[in-house]
Amino acid sequence: MADFAGWEMPIQYAGGIVAEHLATRKNAGLFDVSHMGRFRIRGEKAADFLQRFLTNNILNLSPGDSQYTIMANPEGGVIDDAYLYQLDRSDYLLVVNASNAQTDFEYLRSHVSAFDGVTLTDISESLAMIALQGPQSETILRTLLEDGTLPPKRRNALSRAAVCGAQATVARTGYTGEPICFEVFIAAEAVGLLWDALLDGGAEPVGLGARDTLRLEAGLPLYGHEFGVGPDGAEIGALACPIARYAVSFDQSKGEYVGKAALLRQAEARKRYAAGDFSQTSDLPRVIRSFRLTDSGVARAETVVYDRDKPVGSVTSGTVAPYWVTSKDGDTWRLTDQTGRRAIGLALVAPEVVFDAVLEADVRQRRLKMRLVRRNLDNRSGDIALAEIE
Amino acid sequence: MMIDPDARYLKSHEWAKKDGNRIAVGLTAYAIEQLGDIVYLELPEVGRTLKQGEMFGVIESVKSASDMYAPVGGKVVEVNTSACDNPDSLKQDAYGAGWLMKIEPTDPAELDGLMDAAAYRTFLETEA
């Protein structure tokens, strides 16, 4: 057990981090994520309020839908990253990081009074949240439905359903990179029953350790590592993270919002980088990239990364993650019974460092070879996520 | 076996045991269990001379890297390369096949100054 933002959380259950990671990729992992902050925002002008303080475009949402979003500061840095669920036109659920929940709530509360009739409530204690992730999760969850439906099969979709005698909101969201993934919001009194029923159905409980290896393999950012202040002491631009582009909208319909001008400059910088122009990098001096070590060892957070003699960045998160060896059956990939392990992570590097560049991580005065890669996990098609090895 | 009655111990959970005129060194079953899945071992070069208490290597689990310290001073004469190739194997036999290095001690009496099994057990129960 470990203290995590004031919550006592298991690093691992009986299976251990490696087994829990592998079980999630092949079967289904069950995560207690009730430590995360949950705020309910209601009122006719709730959308206007959220448009102003979050970076994504709420007009892209319809009831029963959700989106990844960011609470940016005026400099284009990240106060927090979050998920916004539209329960109804004037009823929203915002899920934030546990470590920032207090700060986020105070920040939003200090601005909400300017929006007539909008209420902001911290419902983290009363509404529990669990995540069920992996290829078998849909089958396991479906058998527990007493009423209602699972969300339509597309990422971010929501539904209402009754499970274990209680009403639940079910979302196709998650933090593992699994194509089949659910997060379930249910009254705190009912979550114990649901948890046990999902375990009985065959899900494996997963602690914080594997939650981290899974998100890292999927290249997903974590506040305090890929967002916030970087290893170099400077604030990391929101758009340094490739996935952040899905959370930031410059659509005219969204209008002005906190951080927009700085984020626009970061987006322009990314466009220049994509065109091979690195003449002006001050708006976004570093970008986040996935890497794999090709030497044996582990490169953990703050390890300095070199291109020959020149330091070009630092590791922001690094670990060893297990994977299932894959094989191809005709046109379909499947997971075999063989497993391997590899050292992977995310690094904050100069934008001109190209993909597939062979760099060196300085681990305890030893130089370990590493390669920047587009991804460590391929979840772009099908129902399973495949480890990319080569 | 959580504690080997024949070994001597450091508070940092290394064990040391006579092996002929050498001293075998490893990490205790307790430490290995605490670390969880072990993924990487960094051991010293054969021939290196270590002082008592000097850091001799690193053991990495999925979640963290931990330094390991020499229970006695001396020359490293052998390291367990098969443990490096399969670090998870330490779990199976921490005090036997899971040895990490063998030392030709500079001063064999250093061993007697370390915690014995009973003292290590008390240490685990009260402080660790």
Q: Looking at the structure, tell me whether residues A205 and A248 fall in a common domain.
A: no
Final residue belonging to a domain, choices A156, A189, A215: A215
Interface residue B39 vs chain A (CB under 8 A): yes
Confidence check: pLDDT of A78 > 80:
yes
Interface residue B55 vs chain A (CB under 8 A): no
Mean pLDDT of chain B: 94
CA distances from A336 to A325, A329, A379 (A): 6, 11, 17
Q: Looking at the structure, tell me whether residues A128 and A186 fall in a common domain.
A: yes
Long-range CB contacts (within 8 A, 24+) of B115-118: B115/B8, B115/B9, B115/B10, B115/B11, B116/B8, B116/B9, B117/B3, B117/B4, B117/B5, B117/B6, B117/B7, B117/B9
Closest residue on chain A to B43 (Cα): A297
Q: Looking at the structure, tell me whether residues A176 and A275 fall in a common domain.
A: no
A97-106: per-residue pLDDT in tens? Answer: 999 999 999 9
The size of chain A, in residues, is 390
* % of chain B at pLDDT higher than 70: 98
Q: Is A358 in contact with A369 (CB distance < 8 Å)?
A: yes
Tell me the pairing of strands A127-133 and A29-32.
antiparallel
Fold of B8-126: OB fold (Dihydrolipoamide Acetyltransferase, E2P) (2.40.50)
Instruction: Name which of A184, A138, A186, A185 is nearest A166 in CA terms.
Output: A186
Chain B interface test: which of A13, A296, A317, A339 (most B C-beta within 10 Å): A296
As given in the structure block, the two tokens for residue A90 are 């004037």
Q: How many domains does chain A have?
A: 2
Least confident among A3-7, A195-199, A275-279:
A3-7
Tell me the mean pLDDT in the region A190-209: 98
Of A12, A209, A320, the CB nearest to B39: A320
Q: Looking at the structure, tell me whether residues A163 and A252 fall in a common domain.
A: no
Tell me the mean pLDDT in the region A131-139: 98
Kindly report the CATH number assigned to the domain that includes residue A176. 3.30.1360.120
Is B42 close to A298, i.e. CB distance below 8 A? no
Q: Looking at the structure, tell me whether residues A177 and A64 fall in a common domain.
A: yes
Mean pLDDT of chain A: 96
| Chain B stretch 62-81, residues whose beta carbon is closer than 8 A to a beta carbon of chain A | 62-63, 65
As given in the structure block, the two tokens for residue B99 are 């040895």
Tell me the mean pLDDT in the region A16-38: 97
Beta bridge partners of A42: A91, A119
pLDDT band for B127, please (50, 70, 90 cuts).
confident
pLDDT band for A286, please (50, 70, 90 cuts).
very high
pLDDT band for A302, please (50, 70, 90 cuts).
very high
Is B60 close to A16, i.e. CB distance below 8 A? no
Q: Looking at the structure, tell me whether residues A103 and A41 fall in a common domain.
A: yes
Q: Which residues of A touch B39 (CB under 8 A)?
A: 298, 320, 341, 343
Confidence check: pLDDT of A253 > 90:
yes
As given in the structure block, the two tokens for residue A99 are 């470590």
Kindly report the CATH number assigned to the domain that includes residue A274. 2.40.30.110
- pLDDT for residue B12: 95
Q: Where are the domains of chain B?
A: 8-126
Tell me the mean pLDDT in the region A67-91: 97
- pLDDT for residue A118: 98
Sign of CA dihedral A350, A353, A355, A358: negative
Of A17, A298, A341, the CB nearest to B36: A17
Interface residue B118 vs chain A (CB under 8 A): no
Q: Looking at the structure, tell me whether residues A115 and A209 fall in a common domain.
A: yes
Residue-range definition of the domain harbouring residue A232: 222-387
Confidence check: pLDDT of A270 > 80:
yes
**Which residues of A sit within 8 Å Cβ distance of B?**
11-12, 16-18, 209, 213, 296-298, 300, 319-321, 341, 343, 364
Is B39 close to A298, i.e. CB distance below 8 A? yes
Tell me the mean pLDDT in the region A130-156: 97
pLDDT band for A329, please (50, 70, 90 cuts).
confident
A3 vs A86, residue with greater confidence: A86
* % of chain A at pLDDT higher than 70: 100
* % of chain A at pLDDT higher than 90: 93
- pLDDT for residue B7: 96
Final residue belonging to a domain, choices A160, A189, A215: A215
- pLDDT for residue A390: 78
A201-250: per-residue pLDDT in tens? Answer: 999 999 999 999 999 999 999 999 999 999 889 999 999 999 999 999 99
Is B62 close to A296, i.e. CB distance below 8 A? no
Instruction: Name which of B89, B29, B61 is nearest A210 in CA terms.
Output: B61
> pTM (2 decimals)?
0.94
As given in the structure block, the two tokens for residue A146 are 């007493």
Q: Looking at the structure, tell me whether residues A164 and A200 fall in a common domain.
A: yes
Q: Looking at the structure, tell me whether residues A232 and A171 fall in a common domain.
A: no
Is A320 close to B58, i.e. CB distance below 8 A? no
Q: Looking at the structure, tell me whether residues A204 and A244 fall in a common domain.
A: no
B19-29: per-residue pLDDT in tens? Answer: 999 999 999 99
pLDDT band for B1, please (50, 70, 90 cuts).
low
DSSP state of B114: S
Sheet of A37-42: strand order equals: A65-72, A78-88, A91-96, A37-42, A119-122
A30-74: per-residue pLDDT in tens? Answer: 999 999 999 999 999 999 999 999 999 999 999 999 999 999 999
Q: Looking at the structure, tell me whether residues A10 and A133 fall in a common domain.
A: yes
State the nearest Cα–Cα gap between A145 and chain B, in angstroms. Answer: 36
Q: Looking at the structure, tell me whether residues A245 and A152 fall in a common domain.
A: no
State the nearest Cα–Cα gap between A295 and chain B, in angstroms. Answer: 11
Is A320 close to B60, i.e. CB distance below 8 A? yes
pLDDT band for B81, please (50, 70, 90 cuts).
very high
